Amino acid sequence: MVRLAKVMSIVTVLAITVPIVTSVEGCSSASSKKKKRGATQKGSAAKSDAQKAGPAATGSKDKATNTGADKEGVTCNAEYENTAWCDNDTTAVFCSGGSWYALDCAGAGLGVCAEDSDSHAVDCVGSGDAE
């Protein structure tokens, strides 16, 4: 009788635990695809959409090409500081210190350019991390 009670206790714990673990795993895989490759506004629309450069892009400024003060009809100034967009699937563009910088994410070994749909951070991410 004691043995049957132990078996029933184990079965009950498993019946409760397995669905919880399965639902947690489902959540993590669903949230991993919130980055949209190259799907960003450009120019002044990027500022309106609150798009900001992410840490991989800004941290690789030394690998980026300074394209000057004007891009897409917008002058990089204090108002646009850190505004960013994907110029294409692999190039992140961001305003820093009065100049627009174009970072070839693929060429820098950082993957593709993508925007996080929640935070609007535009950054270089692994190609498997973006749709």
Amino acid, single-letter form, for residue 39: A
Q: How confident is the model at residue 19 (pLDDT cuts 50, 70, 90)?
A: very low
* Residue 55 belongs to domain spanning: 35-129
Q: How many domains does the chain have?
A: 2
Pair 65, 86 in one domain:
yes
CB-based contacts of 40, cutoff 8 Å, min separation 6? 46, 49, 51, 84, 85, 86, 113, 115, 122
**Each residue of 68-92: pLDDT tens digit?**
999 999 999 999 999 999 999 999 9
Q: How confident is the model at residue 36 (pLDDT cuts 50, 70, 90)?
A: confident
User: Is the predicted pLDDT of residue 42 greater than 80, yes or no?
Assistant: yes
Pair 40, 90 in one domain:
yes
Pair 72, 88 in one domain:
yes
Pair 56, 21 in one domain:
no
Residue 19, CB half-sphere, CA atoms under 13 Å: how many? Answer: 5
Model-wide pTM > 0.85: no
Pair 27, 40 in one domain:
no
Average pLDDT over residues 10-20: 43
Pair 52, 91 in one domain:
yes
